[in-house]
Chains A and B, each alone.
Chain A
Amino acid sequence: MSTATKTIAPRKRERSRIKSPYPTWFYIPAGVFYLVLFLVPTGASLYFALTRWSIFDVEFIGIDNFVQFFQEPSLVKGFVNTFFYAFVTSGLKVVLGLLLGVLLTSQIIARGFLRSVVFFPVLVSTIGVGVTFKVLLDPFDGLLNGALATIGIEGPGWLTDPAWALFSVALVDVWKGVGLATLIYIAGIVAIPQEYYEAARVDGASGFQNFRFITLPLSRPATVTVIILSLIGGLRSFDLIWTMTRGGPGFTSDVIASVIYKQYQAGFYGLSTAGNVVLIVVVAAIVVPVSIWLNRKGAEA
């Protein structure tokens, strides 16, 4: 990766002086695809966001869609829920992924098998996971509340109680996604040179001190990767929530993506187009500063 960057960087500066090695026609196929599949739809969506359109006609209404979108009562709820969901899933994946990573790099029996078991949920389809857990979490016939009942605990309506619904879905998301976080941490921890641990053993460090002062700080690159991946995944979350609760009960587990989807389904095409434009801006407002910050960190390191 780093060698590639080095060879590309000088060529950038030379490009203005030296003629491109490729003839112009070479760019045309890619250019046409880029124009038709990316530039035209993006431009069109910006225009259609300013209209009230249906399949039959278009009416230009200025910024009314945006005004209406921001007055949407479920929108505030959707934003709060989206950030809650992204924060909870990302935080839990970091903590659990790190702990599982430490466990699965230690000398335990059947380590390879246990690693595969943790990773397995990542391979299952999200819809399949959602449907399965919807059955398991049923408040009356579900396996989980059945199990809790045998030890005398009355479980809540995991997906039907407004206070629990979004949190339950977030937990399922963590179960499904923690395997990937663990894998990244395993790679990060294995890459830490053994000399540090040997030196610490000579100094008489305890197991906890090993973790606190060697493993934790030196697996920082893995932590950054896990946070970014799960934060982006959490912000654009839709499929698992839609399968398990459809944003319900009522609007209590709606996220931005499900609000927009419901507007589209209702035939408010202009409004939902405006929603997507807002979503692009919001995601960019979060991802651009984060990526600039990370690139600077990378340059310093």
Chain B
Amino acid sequence: MRSQRSTRLAIAAGAVALALGATGCSGGSGDADDGSVELSIYIDSTESSVAIFDGIIEAYKDVEPDVTITTETHPAGGEGDNLVKTRLATGEMNDLFFYNSGSLFQALNPDQTLVDLSDEDWAGSLLDDFVTTVSTDSGLYGAPVGASFAGAVTYSKTVYADLGLEIPTTWDEFMANNETIKAAGIDPIAQTYGDTWTSQLFVLGDFYNVSAADPDWAQKFTDNETRFAEEPAVAGFEHQQEAFDAGYFNEDFASATYDDGVRMIVEGTAAHYPMLTGNVASAIGANYPDADQTVGVFPLPSDDAANNGLTVWMPNGLYIPKGTEGETLEAAKDLLEWIASPAGCDVIGASSTLGGPYVVDGCELPDDVPAIVSDMQPYFDEGRTGLALEFVSPVKGPALEQITVEVGSGIRDAQDGAALYDEDVKKQAQQLGLEGW
């Protein structure tokens, strides 16, 4: 008798423990009765993101005194991707979150997890290029935070002036410039494989040239009808190998970091650094304010001088997950409306040095932009810009940075590296469940 009751007790205790475990995690910010609303935003922990949101929080206090905004940070990169996806899937996401547009956004299953914003007034004022990167067939889900930027060759104007060099429009001219620079005792190209992601620019920044040679390339790539190991896309890998073979990299390319690369370009100890202008501009704004007119930018050249344009990246978006409801949802939508307005653009521009034009109608860059941004303007004015591959195709292999480190260090040749990347891409396409893979 006694032991039977104990058995029942033990089972009951176990059941209670399980039930507690299952229901223990539910939450979200509640709405207070006095009309004040609290908004929590999930952002990545990079310096420029934190600076932008600090600026937004400070300025929004005056716009909506009843709304209190807080941020919660997660690490950038793959780990952050996992955290965002997990929170979305479990319904634990904050009231809003800040995340990449383009292929990473598509991987979030937006139709099922995010609030459609296509009926908002501001949706019509966004640049079409940006709209496609935060939309699916059935809705628009994000407002832009920040500005567009380019993946291109940042260069030292001081070195170019001292050596009397011209901006190259073909790969051969670029290599001829490098020869002159090397003869003058300056490192022609800065490479910084201590931060592996910086190795990808020869390939990613070359995409304007790829789509100039074949306008349908991105669609064919998504449908598994063309490959990186073939012309014209293999050129990016080949150029990186040629530059390494010619000995144009800084001596410590294998261990140098991104910060070293920016410093070399600013100090003129290296002449070129293929990089994202958004990152370089914010680094210059934060650390080298005197250098804002000495670092310029030109597109990665191709073999054809007639095709010479910038590969452009779109800013990250701010999204609202489906779990945000009621007053909180209204407050979140109001915040997005303000961010996608000229007032919001100005606050963002004041919080961080931007690396390119805004993507909202009516938002203008200030007159005193760094040279790295004003150098880009002619390409935008003449329409010689194209979106990077990650915004026109959902397929992006995760191992590209290791592969380009190998190609750029002479461990693997260009053809082999491109073929290996095709294998990597295949896994991603299958994981996404695309047709034809």
Interface of A toward B, CB cutoff 8 Å: 23-25, 28-29, 32, 52, 54-56, 59, 68, 71, 73, 138-140, 157, 159-162, 246-252, 262, 265-268, 270-271
Known: A250-B409, A251-B406, A268-B427. 19 other contacts (CB 8 A): A25-B3, A52-B430, A52-B431, A55-B89, A56-B109, A56-B112, A68-B427, A138-B255, A160-B255, A161-B254, A246-B196, A247-B402, A248-B193, A249-B193, A249-B254, A249-B409, A266-B428, A267-B82, A271-B427
Q: Is the CB of B402 within 8 A of A251?
A: yes
**Which B residues are in CB contact (< 8 Å) with A267?**
81-82, 85, 107, 398, 428, 431
The reply on B182 being an interface residue by CB < 8 A is no
Complex: chain A residue closest to B256, CB-CB: A140
How far apart are the CA atoms of A66 and B154 in the complex, in Å?
44
Q: Per-residue CB proximity of B388-412 to A under 8 Å, as 1/0?
A: 0000000000110011011001011
Find B255's partner among A55, A157, A247 (CB 8 Å cutoff): A157
**Which B residues are in CB contact (< 8 Å) with A28?**
7, 10-11, 14
How far apart are the CA atoms of A162 and B410 in the complex, in Å?
10
How many A-B pairs have beta carbons closer than 8 Å: the answer is: 92
The reply on B138 being an interface residue by CB < 8 A is no
**Which A residues are in CB contact (< 8 Å) with B78?**
265-266
B8 to chain A, nearest CB (A): 9
How far apart are the CA atoms of A59 and B432 in the complex, in Å?
11
Find B14's partner among A32, A52, A246, A262 (CB 8 Å cutoff): A32
Find A139's partner among B112, B252, B409 (CB 8 Å cutoff): B252
The reply on B86 being an interface residue by CB < 8 A is yes
Interface of B toward A, CB cutoff 8 Å: 3, 6-7, 10-11, 14, 78-79, 81-82, 85-86, 88-89, 107, 109, 112, 193, 196, 251-252, 254-255, 398-399, 402-403, 405-406, 409, 411-412, 420, 423, 427-428, 430-431, 433
Q: Is the CB of B399 within 8 A of A266?
A: yes
Enumerate 19 A-B pairs (CB-CB under 8 Å) in ascending A order: A25-B6, A29-B14, A54-B431, A56-B109, A68-B427, A138-B255, A139-B254, A140-B255, A162-B411, A247-B402, A248-B193, A249-B405, A249-B409, A250-B403, A250-B412, A251-B406, A265-B79, A265-B398, A266-B78
The 8 closest A-B pairs by CB, nearest first: A250-B406, A160-B254, A266-B398, A55-B89, A265-B78, A25-B7, A250-B405, A140-B252
Q: Check A248/B398 contact, CB under 8 A, given A159-B255, A271-B427.
A: no
